[in-house]
């Protein structure tokens, strides 16, 4: 359990540059087995690397376990954030979000995603090089912010995304709130972003719009209903989480996807063949992607699954026991935190043959996105509601990239885990249009 108060927090936050299971977890798995206890930030935590226990935890949401995150998370995402809300209120918020990110909305959004991908790729090809991490993050943020709050970075006097930039460093960092630390920068970014969102909400209330055009309008309608259970605090925390979650994780996955394509020519060739065959089947080769074409991208989805399996962008998913729980001879005391560790499952050689080898073809026999052996998007009732949005973003961007452009890595591309995934030097490539 480590030292008094700080426990093993320092060891947990040690950086590493590997795609393998985090050293902190791997060493303790070897010493204590797949389920062990530790102490992080002054709290006892059970760490589960056992696929069956992880599945059991997700299935027992609301009965034996509930969603929980360390105090540092709630400081950053707000006391009323969707991860800290349970029961009816969580289902209510989830349904609200599905209005924006559900399949019917995504069908209408497909054209916008393709337009954004094409215009950004065209712009990048006119420069000597582009940082894929930065470029895709800005592209996705602009699209999401427009859908959520009609925000236009080109017309706004304030840079909203700037407030989120320090987040991935500070979100899973040592919780030391003094000037200069990653955690402190994270909190400052939250304060600035929340101030902007509060001002926007106030402006909308004072000057209501005739037609509902974005998610903010929908939220305002809900707030003004007499029987509403929504509060301004919950609504603002929800907007904040959606803005961050939509662009940061997807841009990390896309950056890694482009790097994997650069490093694995046979995979790139297969992806090109699939995407080019979609265009060849059309009557008009210049027409935009249809939903049926998107759903036909079989190899592309294998590729996306393999990318996020290797990426392990989320190093831990937290829950808390509602009451004492017994499992396979283990007793988990009531009120203890539990950290489900996805990387330990995704990189388990008993589950995935040669797990550190990038191989999209392994998904030919396993297409289940939410199984006990694959939890890149969470699991159970809290399975990520943005999963389909992420896949649309990635698949459409990859379609535009491999059918119209070629690229050459210039610099960067090294990963760092703290324990969250980062590209400390970005991933800079030179993009050029293909010869027609």
CATH number, domain containing residue 179: 1.10.630.10
Is residue 99 in a domain? yes
Is residue 21 in a domain? yes
**Contact call for residues 175 and 72 (beta carbons, < 8 A):** yes
Q: What is the mean pLDDT of residues 100-128?
A: 92
| Model confidence band, residue 72 (pLDDT cutoffs 50, 70, 90) | low
Q: What is the mean pLDDT of residues 256-274?
A: 97
Is residue 145 in a domain? yes
Of the chain, the percentage scoring pLDDT greater than 70 comes to: 90
Residue 384, annotated as binding a ligand: yes
Sign of CA dihedral 328, 333, 334, 336: negative
Is residue 337 in a domain? yes
More confident residue, 197 or 298: 298
Is residue 346 in a domain? yes
Query: What pLDDT, in 10s, does the model give residues 25-66?
Result: 999 999 999 999 998 877 899 999 999 999 999 999 889 998
Task: List the one residue out of 327, 354, 376, 389 whose CA is nearest residue 103.
Answer: 389
Is residue 2 in a domain? no
Query: What pLDDT, in 10s, does the model give residues 275-287?
Result: 999 999 988 888 8
CB burial readout 144-153, b (16+ within 10 A) else e: bbbbbbebee
Is residue 4 in a domain? no
Quick check: 83 pLDDT over 60? no
| Distance from C-alpha of 297 to C-alpha of 400, rounded to nearest angstrom | 13
* pLDDT in the model for residue 168: 58
For 151, list phi and psi in degrees, rounded to 5. Answer: -80, 135
Query: What pLDDT, in 10s, does the model give residues 236-258?
Result: 888 888 887 777 889 999 999 99
Residue 192: burial class (beta carbons within 10 Å; 0-12, 13-18, 19+):
middle
Query: What pLDDT, in 10s, does the model give residues 200-210?
Result: 888 888 887 77
Average predicted confidence (pLDDT) for the chain: 86
Quick check: 93 pLDDT over 80? no
Query: What pLDDT, in 10s, does the model give residues 404-425?
Result: 999 999 999 999 998 888 899 9
State the residue range of the domain holding 138. 9-433
Is residue 3 in a domain? no
In the chain, the number of structural domains is: 1
More confident residue, 58 or 75: 58
| Model confidence band, residue 370 (pLDDT cutoffs 50, 70, 90) | low
């Amino acid at each position: 359990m480590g030292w008094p108060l700080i426990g093993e927090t320092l060891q947990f936050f040690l950086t590493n540059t590997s795609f393998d299971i985090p050293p902190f977890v791997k060493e303790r798995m070897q010493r204590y087995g797949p389920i062990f206890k530790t102490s992080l930030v002054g709290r006892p935590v059970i760490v589960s690397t056992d696929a069956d226990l992880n599945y059991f935890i997700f299935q027992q949401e609301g009965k034996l376990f509930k969603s929980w995150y360390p105090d540092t998370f709630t400081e950053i995402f707000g006391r009323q954030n969707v991860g800290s809300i349970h029961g009816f209120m969580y289902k209510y918020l989830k349904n609200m979000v599905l209005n924006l990110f559900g399949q019917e909305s995504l069908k209408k959004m497909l054209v916008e995603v393709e337009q954004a991908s094409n215009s950004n790729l065209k712009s990048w090809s006119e420069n000597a090089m582009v940082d894929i991490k930065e470029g895709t993050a800005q592209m996705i943020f602009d699209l999401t912010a427009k859908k959520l709050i009609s925000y236009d970075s080109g017309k706004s006097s304030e840079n909203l995304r700037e407030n989120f930039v320090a987040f991935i460093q500070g979100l899973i960092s040592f919780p030391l709130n003094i000037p200069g630390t990653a955690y402190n920068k994270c909190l400052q970014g939250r304060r600035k972003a929340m101030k902007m969102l509060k001002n926007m909400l106030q402006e909308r209330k004072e000057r209501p719009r005739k037609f509902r055009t974005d998610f903010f309008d929908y939220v305002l309608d809900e707030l003004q209903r007499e029987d509403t259970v929504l509060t301004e605090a919950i609504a603002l925390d929800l907007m904040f989480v959606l803005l961050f979650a939509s662009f940061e994780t997807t841009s990390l996955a896309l950056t890694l996807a482009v790097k994997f394509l650069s490093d694995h020519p046979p995979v790139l060739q297969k992806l090109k063949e699939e995407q080019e065959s979609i265009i060849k089947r059309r009557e008009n080769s210049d027409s935009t992607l249809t939903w049926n074409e998107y759903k036909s991208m079989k190899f592309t989805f294998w590729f996306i699954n393999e990318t996020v399996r290797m990426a392990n962008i989320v190093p831990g998913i937290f829950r808390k026991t509602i009451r004492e729980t017994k499992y396979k001879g283990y007793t988990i005391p009531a009120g203890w935190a539990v950290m489900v560790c996805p990387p330990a499952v995704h990189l388990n050689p008993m589950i995935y043959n040669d797990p550190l080898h990038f191989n999209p073809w392994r998904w030919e026999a396993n297409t289940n996105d939410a199984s006990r052996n694959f939890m890149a998007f969470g699991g159970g009732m809290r399975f990520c509601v943005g999963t389909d949005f992420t896949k649309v973003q990635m698949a459409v961007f990859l379609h535009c990239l491999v059918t119209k452009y070629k690229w050459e890595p210039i610099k960067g591309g090294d990963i760092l885990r703290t324990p969250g995934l980062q590209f400390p030097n970005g991933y800079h490539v030179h993009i050029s249009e293909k010869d027609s």
